[in-house]
Structure 1
């Protein structure tokens, strides 16, 4: 049944206050959020002041319910294994169950690497992850990428020759054995953290062989066995 013109007008008049309240609330909400994100100052949006501590960012972070803090360590250390009976219930890549001995051998001969101190001490850290697809080709985003505090690159993503699009700053490079570069210095900086992400025990064995020069030792032993005559063959 169609509403009469008078009834329609009455409903519109009733809805006007609701609509006005909704518009006012949205305007106030976003105005307050923007002001808070600039710290309540008169600085323009182009200010160099970081927006990480802004109201919106804080609320968004809290809504994610992450069980981590600024004190959470990113990398395993040798002391993480001492006096712990049940370190992990899951195998790689979700845990380290079954790979404890390999990790002990690896961590025993590696330094305790952490995020660079100049980044660790920042009140707010901005981060960008750069893959190795063609999504940003001819984008000229290199300068913007370099402005981030932490630039993470994946696998063997190239940098040299593509600086205008991808930048030349690399804080960390995540890789696994199959994507390891034969020349790490080609697309990384001297201070770049090379972060191995093991998906299976074989990945840890690969790394252990490199650290302990096991393949070289094995090759030398095989060569010596071939060169030295067997005592059984000597008459």
Structure 2
């Protein structure tokens, strides 16, 4: 009996000593790095801290975290996050989106904005003042929490594990804080911005639309954007390239759309996209483009396209549709080429032999997108090159 009592006391004494050792270890670790302990508890670093740029020690961006050598983003002293606005009568928060406080109405007298605002069909949902891009100055813990509940690409929830605050923050720090897809530095803005959106549809093969496409101020391309050898049909200029991590998987590196004159618009669709963006930002991947030329689509804009404009149950809009909608909300005059798949022509304009278009209904709703291009064309918001198909 006495032996059992002594054994119990030894166990209690040992547990008490172990607890003291662990407590002392945690206190010492916390003193060395005060942010580390908070991060373990909340999984969020402290936000809103900006160190004096002339002071010694690490600088902290508005979204928290040390400014690294790779960081391209220039931290803003005051918040750049605009107010929320709501579309539709539904109380569902997925219809709430951030407004770009720096947006201004076009001065072009023939702008599609004017046509859209007067359209019975599109005036209630057309919001060119929406925040289309996300950057380090438009992201903090509160924004992460707001968007965490929606599945990527509409937020930061992912079925194989959430995309963490730190993952998003670290990626955004690698890219500039620009909130527009156009760069007017060093030159004046055109009063009326003309844009050509070029999809990869087979109806462009033999179309001879190349010269017409190249006459636009800006030319948007997507995914496998081959131009060499196809200039007569699709043109040779590229000013904007819209893509995600799978866009280049069938292209050879020598065919990648790489140019100092291109703005790259990234559409994150999966958790892997953040790894790909990190590689681009640190210039360690195969696709080596200047990080300062990369822009990232805002989850709010993706949600706005999908639930307000498309109103479908598929996984997400096609990358081509994201490209077209981005241009629709930024340009004054817009022409669409190579959008709308059909079986009269091969799947892509660059196919060497006929390939029938395959429908992936769970991923995209191509029929709905075709109806939207048709409506936009008939309402006079865009010119949709239909050839002899639609």
In structure 1, the residue matched to 2:71 is none
How far apart, CA to CA, are the structure 2 residues paired with 1:182 and 1:104? 31
**Contact 1:131–1:154 (8 Å) recurs in 2:** yes
Please identify, of 124-133 and 200-209, the stretch whose mean Cα deviation from structure 2 is larger: 124-133
Out of 226, 230, 233, which is 1:158 matched to? Answer: 226
Out of 76, 80, 96, which is 2:134 matched to? Answer: 76
Name the SS for the 2:238 alignment partner: coil
User: Pairwise mapping of residues 68-147 of structure 1 onto structure 2 (< 5 A)?
Assistant: 68-69=127-128, 71-82=129-140, 84=142, 86-88=145-147, 89-97=149-157, 98-99=162-163, 100-113=165-178, 114-118=180-184, 121-147=189-215
How far apart, CA to CA, are the structure 2 residues paired with 1:117 and 1:172? 11
Q: C-alpha displacement at 1:195, in angstroms?
A: 1.8
Question: Which structure carries more helix by proportion?
Answer: 1
| CA distance 1:136–1:53, change in 2 (3 Å) | closer
Q: Deviations over 1:79-135 (max 9, x none)?
A: 112362533131211223432322211111222343233499444433332122321
In structure 2, the residue matched to 1:178 is 246
| CA distance 1:158–1:214, change in 2 (3 Å) | closer
Q: C-alpha displacement at 1:73, in angstroms?
A: 3.8
Q: C-alpha displacement at 1:213, in angstroms?
A: 6.8
Q: C-alpha displacement at 1:182, in angstroms?
A: 5.2
Q: Deviations over 1:12-65 (max 9, x none)?
A: xxxxxxxxxxxxxxxxxxxxxxxxxxxxxxxxxxxxx97336975552387342
Name the SS for the 2:196 alignment partner: strand
TM-score (norm 1): 0.57
How far apart, CA to CA, are the structure 1 residues paired with 2:257 and 2:183? 23
How far apart, CA to CA, are the structure 2 residues paired with 1:198 and 1:54? 27
| CA distance 1:213–1:171, change in 2 (3 Å) | closer
Q: C-alpha displacement at 1:205, in angstroms?
A: 1.9
Out of 102, 119, 124, which is 1:65 matched to? Answer: 124
Name the SS for the 1:207 alignment partner: helix
1:211 and 2:278 matched: no
How far apart, CA to CA, are the structure 2 residues paired with 1:109 and 1:54? 33
What is the number of residues matched between the two proteins? 166
TM-score (norm 2): 0.37
How far apart, CA to CA, are the structure 1 residues paired with 2:209 and 2:139? 42
For structure 1, the 5+ residue unaligned runs are: 1-48, 216-235
How far apart, CA to CA, are the structure 1 residues paired with 2:270 and 2:233? 34
